[in-house]
Every structure is written in structure tokens, then in C-alpha cells.
């Protein structure tokens, strides 16, 4: 009898849990949104993750529930917990990944370093914040945003007028100061229900158009102090929010050398994909170990440098079939990961990892392979 | 549309192809011998691999056929090839893995270094060989042996009397000289249909009771000359026999420093499991790339030393569920691979890999994790 882990959501994160699940002997089962999703091979149910009956039926046959995304409603999560299901991360943690206002308030309680922010219920409140922060700010819808959606840089309150008018009564938007950052970092932490946690080295993430394009592990030029500080911030948030499984903390590094928390993700995250091939324990294996309350694995990198480059789908009329061989030919060292998705422009359809002792050479390898998909 | 690779046989080798297939975007399908086999997750058919109709039906829906084992009969393989199916390795190569007498004769033609051997049809012929080789020899049934089965060390011809009396008319046994070897090595090679090939560093295999127990990569103390010689032997056999996919060449290193070919396996092999976690491209990924005629991957090890230790099932009344956590706790560095098999004494149910810069420390890590399964 194998340990049964149920994953809600059939996207690429669920897909990439399949490989380590097979090796660890975990019976992985996926509740997919539809037929033919990325995690199809492990899909044992298809249905709406917002529907309690659907989720309950799926959860009845597994030992642990975890997630491909953070969108399962609180009422569904809490019903599972009330049923006695092990849910990791649980609703009390996930709410901070589901609502950016709740997250900012909780991080403030924890004393975590973050940008100035405010809860703004109307244009007047927003304008007051903007005026106090050099006339500009980042407005965010608290819920449902991802990959740059639901995020808008504004220099006047009326630029968020449509979002305000769409708000339900009693709701509000989040506004944050526009942080003068020199680069973005991300810290991965894994935490078990028993509190054991491990950290990965902080990485640099390079965004293009609001989407993560490249990740360099560890972040180049990061000193021992920042390395330790990022790890400490990650551990304190994981502990403070009661996260179980993988936690990704997206960070800003400011011109004056501070590290501020940007966003949280309570699942394997794009910024941790490098670890699949670049570390002793990849984040998908680590996530499974953490949610199944198994001892965590070493996070040491294999090489001095690892690079991850996302593959954004090119023209829809060309499939992946011809591009994978071209990528493998371009770099015998690169590790190609595909998501089983039909390419279309701008869609993440896979990624490439490479590792080695010379960062420029590793970047060249990874880029050569990724270029085959352009 | 993904490339479809069909694997005949549902054992652990097919199982371990699943992880890299998912990542590479290969649609892997398995013809399993039974329900609930190791490769269950990818099983799309259940049936007898000796039955042409069964195999033909399975092969109709895939682009390439490969194998978990070497037991598919020649007539089935040849019918597939006649149907136009891409079969890798093909029947002309596989016959040398299926029949040890054919293998010895072909290696002799190729000039590969091997023990003295003879085809012996009766006890008289066997005794003549024994008399010429110090009174002892290793008698083998040419077909169907594995893990020490079908192999017998004899010092008199009558010790093989039962095998001779079981022989069909015209058949014979293989006898080989008892090689005074100091250790056993194994050389992994991958070869594409287009002839491209890559080699892994030669490893040392430690057998216990005829079963591979531990593998150390690379073989400790092997000098550059032997490293190159083993690689050359591997390449020449792969080329000479027309192997496609992974080839494992089991070797004896003799007291006087010669390297002699012991056995061949035309598939991922136990002696190459270390590469899953210890090399840039693991042998299961490499096998898929080779049989699918994709560019091959780099074989460079991540660390100076890698060790693989087989997990032999302990008492049948204890499952794997409690032992995996104990193994993970024993070594946060070790990578545990399970085969989805119920434990029973002496049965291979998984293996542990570990890598690092200090061989003694790596051995200790791997043994600590493996001991949790005893």
C-alpha cells in the first residue's frame, strides 16, 4: 500500500510532481480541470475544484491533499479539514497566498520587511497614498492575479477607477510603493507539518513582461549576509504563516541593499524549477516529502551555477515535436522539461535547466537550448 | 502530438522510464505482463509479450517500440519490423542478448576480449574444456538466465548432467573459463539509430549471491588507460552488434589487468542506476533519447563519486510505507527509488543513490539509507 497524495489542479506543477512521486513510491492522483491537461498521466478525476462534492469525492481516496495552484476556495478547504482530510498547505496558510491584503497585514504582524502598502477602498484613499509616495504606486487586486495580471503601476488614482467600480461592497484594493529595486530574488523554503524546514539558496529571477523569464541560482553576487537574510525571511514566513509544502518568497533587492517581500506562492514555483536538475533534492520531490510529512532532502546545488529559462510557446502551427530534438541538439547538457501544452505565443510550455561551474557558459547552454523553441 | 514510445514489459526498468518521458514530453505506453506491475502508471495494455497479436495491437499505436527486458521472441520482433514498426534495439541486435552462445561467437568475430569459451553439446565436450582449463569452468544455459540463474560453476561434467538432458536436439550449453578476476566492472553506452553514441564512465559492481548489490561510479582506482579501454570495448560492441538504446557491458578485471566481457544487456541496467541522480543525463532518459532517435545527452557525473545500493525486500509482512521515511531520515542526501513491488526476502524492490566528493562518506550515506529497508 503506497501513500496516496491527491493534487488539486492538473497543470504543469502537478505534472512535475509525477516523476518524483513514481521514484518515491507515492501514489499520485490528480483532480484535473479538464481532459488532456499537463498532468493527464496521473489524472484520476476531472472536475471543478470549486465544487465541494467534486473535491470531497476526490479527497476520499487519498491520504493527503495538496495543490497545483492556490485557487481552491476557503470554504472547500475548510470542509475538507472538517472531514478529517490532511490538507497541505492548509486553509489557514493558503488564505495569505489567496488574498494579498491579508498577506500584507500578516507580514506586518510578523515584522517581515516589505514595501509600504495600504488598503484602499476608493480613489481618494489611493490618491492619498500616491501623494505620500512620490505620486506613483502599484495597485493590485487582492485576489486572482498571477503573472502580472491584476497588477498595475499608476500615477493617478483614476487609473484604477475600473477596478474600484468593480469592487464588491466592503472590499478594497492593495496599493504598494513602487520599490526602487535593482533586481528581483526568490527564496524557496520547504516545511513539514512537524515544523522541520529546509531552505534553498536565494535565486535571481529575471522578469520579462511580468512573466518570469530566467532564473539564476544562486543569485549572482549575493553576499553571505543577504543569503542568510533571505533564508531567514523565508523560514520566518513559512513558520509564521504555518506553510506546509514548498513556499516561494519573491523578493525585491533595493538600491540601498534592503530585501523586501514582494509576493508569496505556497507551492512549487517557477523560480525553483532549477532545483529539479541543479540540486540534490528538486522542489517537486521536496514538496511531496513536505506535504506527506516525510523527512526533507538536502538542498545543496550540484554545481556552482544553475540556470532556468522558460520556454514560451512560439507559433501555434508548429508543435513541440520538432523543437525538442532541436533543443537537445543545441545543448547536450541542458535538461528540457515540457508541460504537454500546445504552443501559442507567450504561453509557458516548458523550461530548460542547465548547470556548471562557469555562469556565462551555463547561460549560453541554456539559452541555446531555449532558442530552439522560439 | 507527442512522440509515442511503447515499452514491452512492465517491470522497474519501464517504471523508471516514466519520469524522464514525462519531462521530455514523450507519451510513454507500457505493455505490462499483468495488472499492478511496477510500471502500472503508464500501462496502456496488459498481455503476453510472446503473443504476436497482442504485441502487434500494442505496437499499432506507438512510434517506437523498446523493452523492459530482452525476452520478446525473435519471431515477434521480426514480424514487427516487417510491419514497419521502429523496434529499438532491433531483433538483429537483441539476438546477441538473448543467446549467450550467439553473443560469444559474435564477440569473437569482433575481436572483443572475452574469457575462453566453448559450445558444448554433451558431457564429453564439456569435460574436454574443463580438462583444458584447470578442471573447472562456468556452464551457462544460453537462454533465459538472469541474476545468477542458469549459471553454474562446475568441476566435473556430470554436474551439468541435468541441463544436458533437458537440451532440445541440436542445442548446446556454453562453457566459459573461470576467470581469475579481481573485480567486476560495467560499461554503459547509449547509441542512436544514426550511429551517434555516448559512454558513461566505467563502474565497479559488487555482486552478492549472483545479484548486483552495490555500484561505485566511476570504478575506484581505474586508470585512464582502463577507463578508455572499457569505453572503447563498449562502443565497439554497440557498433558491431548494431545496438540502439542503452547497452550495458558487464566486465571482469583480471589479476593481470585485462578486461574481459562477461555479459551484455541491451536496456537500462542495474549497473547504470547511479546515473539517474549522479550524471547530467540518467540512463533512463538516455535510453528514451536513443530509441526515439533524439540527440543524446551529456554523461558527465555531478560529483567525484556516486554509489548505488540495491534494496532487497525484507520480511513480506512489513510494507514499504514505513521504510521509505526511515531511509529518507537516515540520509537527507540519498535518493530513494522504489519499484512498486511488495517486499519479500531477496527481491529487488528499489535502490538508493548517493553522490559526493568523498567515497567513504558517500558509501556511508547510501548504506545508511539502504539499511532502513533491511
CATH number of the domain enclosing A247: 3.30.470.20
Name the residue among B300, B329, B332 with its Cβ closest to that of A298. B332
Residues paired with residue B39 on neighbouring β-strands, in sequence order? none
Whether A107 maps to a domain, the answer reads no
Q: At CB < 8 Å, which residues of chain B contact A?
A: 1-3, 15-16, 18-20, 22-25, 41-42, 276-277, 280-281, 289, 294-298, 300, 302-303, 319-321, 324-325, 328-329, 332-333, 335-340, 350, 355
Both A30 and A132 in a single domain? no
The Cα A68–Cα B324 span in angstroms is: 24
Both B244 and B331 in a single domain? yes
Whether B96 maps to a domain, the answer reads no
Length of chain A: 374
The Cα B211–Cα B228 span in angstroms is: 27
What angle do the packed helices B91-98 and B100-110 form, to 10 degrees?
110
Closest chain B residue to A15 measured between Cα atoms?
B22
Residue A193: list chain B partners with CB under 8 A: none
Per-residue pLDDT tens listing for chain B (374 residues): 789 999 999 999 999 999 999 999 999 999 999 999 999 999 999 999 999 999 999 999 999 999 999 999 999 999 999 999 999 999 999 999 999 999 999 999 999 999 999 999 999 999 999 999 999 999 999 987 655 678 999 999 999 999 999 999 999 999 999 999 999 999 999 999 999 999 999 999 998 877 779 999 999 999 999 999 999 999 999 999 999 999 999 999 999 989 999 999 999 999 999 999 999 999 999 999 999 999 999 999 999 999 999 998 766 556 667 789 999 999 999 999 999 988 888 889 999 999 999 999 999 999 999 998 87
Q: Which of A17, A87, A65, A18 is nearest to A284 (CA)?
A: A17
Burial class (CB in 10 A: 0-12, 13-18, 19+), A265: buried
Residue B333: list chain A partners with CB under 8 A: 280, 297-298, 300
Residue with cell 536436439: B169
Residue A280: list chain B partners with CB under 8 A: 277, 333, 335, 355
Residue A329: list chain B partners with CB under 8 A: 295
Name the residue among A23, A321, A325 with its Cβ closest to that of B19. A23
pLDDT of residue A347: 86
The Cα A105–Cα A103 span in angstroms is: 5
Closest chain A residue to B23 measured between Cα atoms?
A337
Both A169 and A214 in a single domain? no
Residue B209: CB atoms within 10 Å: 9
Which whole-number Å values give the CA distances from A4 to A60, A294, B40, B336, B339, in the listed order? 11, 13, 15, 17, 15
Both B233 and B319 in a single domain? yes
Region at A272 (left for phi over 0; alpha for psi -120 to 50; beta for the rest): alpha
Whether A98 maps to a domain, the answer reads no
Both A73 and A186 in a single domain? no
Kindly report the nearest CA distance between residue B120 and chain A, in angstroms: 44
Percent of chain A as helix, strand, coil, to the nearest 5? 35, 30, 40
Mutate: best of A4, A5, A22, A332, partner B, most B CBs <10 A: A22
Residue B296: list chain A partners with CB under 8 A: 332
pLDDT of residue B333: 96
Cell of B317: 509482512
Q: Are B58 and B33 in contact (CB under 8 A)?
A: no
CB spacing of B280 vs A333 below 8 angstroms: yes
Q: How many domains does chain A have?
A: 3
Whether A333 maps to a domain, the answer reads yes
Helix or strand or coil: residue B326?
Answer: helix
Q: At CB < 8 Å, which residues of chain A contact B?
A: 1-3, 15-16, 18-20, 22-25, 41-42, 277, 280-281, 289, 294-298, 300, 302-303, 319-321, 324-325, 328-329, 332-333, 335-340, 350, 355
Whether A95 maps to a domain, the answer reads no
Residue B338: list chain A partners with CB under 8 A: 23-25
Name the residue among A24, A319, A324 with its Cβ closest to that of B24. A324
Residue with cell 568441476: B155
Closest chain B residue to A340 measured between Cα atoms?
B25
Both A204 and A171 in a single domain? no
- Ranges of chain A with pLDDT below 50: none
pLDDT of residue A146: 59
Examine residue A133 and say whether the peptide bond preceding it is cis (omega within 30 degrees of 0).
no
Residues paired with residue A254 on neighbouring β-strands, in sequence order? A181
Q: Which of B41, B277, B34, B330 is nearest to A22 (CA)?
A: B41
Q: Are A315 and A236 in contact (CB under 8 A)?
A: no
Where helices occur in A280-358 by DSSP H, the ranges are 283-291, 323-330
The Cα B24–Cα B3 span in angstroms is: 10
Both A201 and A281 in a single domain? yes
Helix or strand or coil: residue A221?
Answer: coil
The domain of A162 spans: 116-176
pLDDT of residue A215: 98
Q: Which of A325, A156, A205 is nearest to B24 (CA)?
A: A325
Both B237 and B254 in a single domain? yes
Q: What is the dihedral of CA A279, A285, A288, A294, to 10 degrees?
A: -70
**Residue B239 CB contacts under 8 Å (≥ 6 apart), including other chains:** B191, B195, B197
Residue A60: CB atoms within 10 Å: 10
* ipTM for this prediction: 0.94
Amino acid at each position: 500500500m503506497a501513500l496516496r497524495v491527491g493534487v488539486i489542479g492538473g497543470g504543469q506543477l502537478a505534472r512535475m510532481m509525477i516523476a518524483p512521486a513514481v521514484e518515491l513510491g507515492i501514489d499520485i492522483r490528480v483532480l484535473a480541470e479538464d481532459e488532456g491537461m499537463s498532468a493527464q498521466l496521473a489524472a484520476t478525476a476531472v472536475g471543478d475544484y470549486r465544487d465541494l462534492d467534486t473535491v470531497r469525492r476526490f479527497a476520499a481516496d487519498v491520504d493527503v491533499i495538496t495543490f497545483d495552484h492556490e485557487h481552491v476556495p476557503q470554504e472547500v478547504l475548510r470542509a475538507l479539514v472538517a472531514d478529517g482530510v490532511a490538507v497541505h498547505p492548509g486553509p489557514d496558510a493558503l488564505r495569505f497566498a489567496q488574498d494579498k491584503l491579508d498577506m500584507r497585514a500578516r507580514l506586518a504582524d510578523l515584522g517581515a520587511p516589505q514595501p509600504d502598502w495600504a488598503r484602499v477602498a476608493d480613489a481618494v484613499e489611493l490618491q492619498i497614498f500616491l501623494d505620500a509616495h512620490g505620486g506613483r504606486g502599484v495597485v493590485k487586486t487582492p485576489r486572482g492575479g498571477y503573472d502580472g495580471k491584476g497588477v498595475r503601476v499608476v500615477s493617478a488614482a483614476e487609473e484604477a477607477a475600473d477596478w474600484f467600480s468593480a469592487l464588491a461592497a466592503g472590499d478594497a484594493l492593495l496599493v504598494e510603493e513602487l520599490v526602487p529595486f535593482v533586481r528581483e530574488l526568490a527564496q524557496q523554503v520547504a516545511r513539514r507539518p512537524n515544523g522541520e524546514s529546509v531552505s534553498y539558496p536565494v535565486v535571481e529571477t529575471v522578469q520579462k513582461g511580468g512573466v518570469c523569464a530566467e532564473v539564476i541560482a544562486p543569485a549572482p553576487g549575493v553576499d553571505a549576509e543577504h543569503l542568510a537574510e533571505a533564508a531567514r525571511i523565508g523560514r520566518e514566513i513559512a513558520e509564521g504563516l504555518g506553510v506546509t509544502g514548498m513556499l516561494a518568497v519573491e523578493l525585491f533587492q533595493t538600491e540601498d541593499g534592503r530585501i523586501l517581500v514582494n509576493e508569496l506562492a505556497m507551492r512549487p514555483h517557477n523560480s525553483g524549477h532549477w532545483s529539479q536538475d541543479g540540486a540534490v533534492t528538486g522542489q517537486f520531490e521536496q514538496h511531496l516529502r513536505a506535504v506527506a510529512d516525510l523527512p526533507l532532502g538536502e538542498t545543496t546545488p550540484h554545481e556552482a551555477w544553475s540556470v532556468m529559462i522558460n520556454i514560451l510557446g512560439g507559433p501555434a502551427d508548429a508543435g513541440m515535436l520538432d523543437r525538442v530534438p532541436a533543443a537537445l541538439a543545441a545543448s547536450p547538457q541542458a535538461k528540457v522539461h515540457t508541460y504537454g501544452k500546445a504552443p501559442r505565443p507567450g504561453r509557458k510550455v516548458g523550461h530548460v535547466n542547465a548547470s556548471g561551474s562557469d555562469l556565462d557558459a551555463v547561460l549560453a547552454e541554456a539559452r541555446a537550448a531555449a532558442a530552439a523553441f522560439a
